[in-house]
Amino acid sequence: MSDLTTIARPYAKAAFDFAVENKQLDQWGQMLTFAAEVAKNEQISELLTSSVSAEKLVEIFVAVCGEQVDVHGQNLLKLMAENGRLTTLPDVCEQFFVLRKEHEKEVDVEITSATELTEEQLAEIGSKLEQRLERKVKLNCSVDEALLGGVVIRAGDLIIDNSARGQLNRLSDALRS
């Protein structure tokens, strides 16, 4: 885990808690996404690492963001600037969306298959994963012909390797031991 993620987590948690309390998850998601993109801008990024005062940084940041960031979002930016943490905005945004998915009981699932999966197969995999994970799942599919056959499913820390290559590797390991 990177240091920036550790630094970003309390800011993301505070923003998330405020957004939930005020029923503004979508609005805060948009504000943080926009502010994170501004922070990634090459010129702004150079400014954030320079010796410009926190007040001036917030002034510039708010001017660039304009109406995309409301008063509460500006307060978060001011707090982060005062603590020298504006460079962590992309990580704050990422952590915010992790918290949001957890709150909404949703998980992204990466499915890598040897061939293109049919709608019926995807529906079956989706329903079984929803039962197992007790969450809504969002399937992101890709094809990797190197798998030879089967699928590899990744949902957070859970990895289900049901590919032909994975089975051959496990068989090889079993024969060696």
Q: Transcribe 66-89 into DSSP letters.
A: GGGS-HHHHHHHHHHHHTT-GGGH
Q: How confident is the model at residue 2 (pLDDT cuts 50, 70, 90)?
A: low
Q: How far apart are CA 35 and CA 74, in angstroms?
A: 10
Please tell me whether the overall predicted TM-score, pTM, comes out greater than 0.75 for this model.
no
Most confident of 13-27, 61-75, 100-114, 154-168: 13-27
Question: Range with the lowest mean pLDDT among 2-6, 36-40, 160-164?
Answer: 2-6
CA dihedral 161, 162, 168, 173 (to 10 degrees): 40
Predicted confidence (pLDDT) per residue in 62-109, tens digit: 888 888 889 999 899 889 888 888 889 999 999 999 899 888 888 889
Kindly report the average pLDDT of the chain as a whole number: 87
Q: What are phi and psi of 72, to 5 degrees?
A: -70, -40
| pLDDT at position 5 | 77
Where do the structural domains in the chain lie, given as residue ranges?
A: 3-102, 105-176
> Domain 3-102: which CATH class?
mainly alpha
Q: How confident is the model at residue 1 (pLDDT cuts 50, 70, 90)?
A: very low
Question: Range with the lowest mean pLDDT among 15-24, 48-57, 85-94?
Answer: 48-57
